[in-house]
Amino acid sequence: MKRGRKGAAPAPSTELPTCVLPLVTCPCCRVRRIVRLVSKSEQNPSRVFYKCPNNRIGTGGCKFFCWEDGEDSYLDYLSSIGMMIPSTYLGGEIEEEEQKEELHEEQKVELKMQKQQQLKMENSEIKLLLEKMDALVVICRMALCAFVVFVALLLYVLAQK
């Protein structure tokens, strides 16, 4: 995971009194606790980010900086260090994922029911075809018997002359 500046630098910012994600000790300087701020820049208005208070533009200072959203987010960082993420933060994502799973399950059940219905129809069609084939076999046997009797009679008549 990259821990450095991403995107445009958040200009003046406001520290938020409450945050949902835990604020951990900075992995870069290991002295200060990460702070959660909101960007006031024109490029990233009201975008939440996390940084070390020792973070400075240019040389010197700590380099830890993460946006709350997007690629390599603070949430990704917390996950990468094994931090348990509060379910309240993931609640919306979990609900959305559960809804997707429920929809997927419903679609699976519906598809399975359609396949079963199709198999029943195919089975009934196959049974009907088998019945017709059995009837055809009986007719063919009768025709064969009639032909054999006809040939036998023909041979008998020819033998009598």
In the chain, where the domains are located: 35-90, 92-160
Question: What pLDDT score was predicted for residue 160?
Answer: 92
Higher pLDDT, 72 or 135: 135
Beta-carbon contacts of 87 under 8 Å, excluding residues fewer than 6 positions away, are 94
The DSSP call for residue 69 is: S
Dihedrals phi, psi of 30, to nearest 5 degrees: 55, 25
pTM of the model: 0.44
Beta-carbon contacts of 120 under 8 Å, excluding residues fewer than 6 positions away, are none
> What is the torsion angle, in degrees rounded to the nearest 10, for the CA atoms of residue 68, residue 2, residue 13 and residue 24?
70
For residue range 23-74, what is the model confidence (pLDDT) as tens digits?
888 888 888 888 999 999 999 898 888 888 887 777 777 888 888 888 878 7
| 73-111 burial code (b ≥16 CB/10 A, e <16) | bbbebbeeeeeeeeeeeeeeeeeeeeeeeeeeeeeeeee
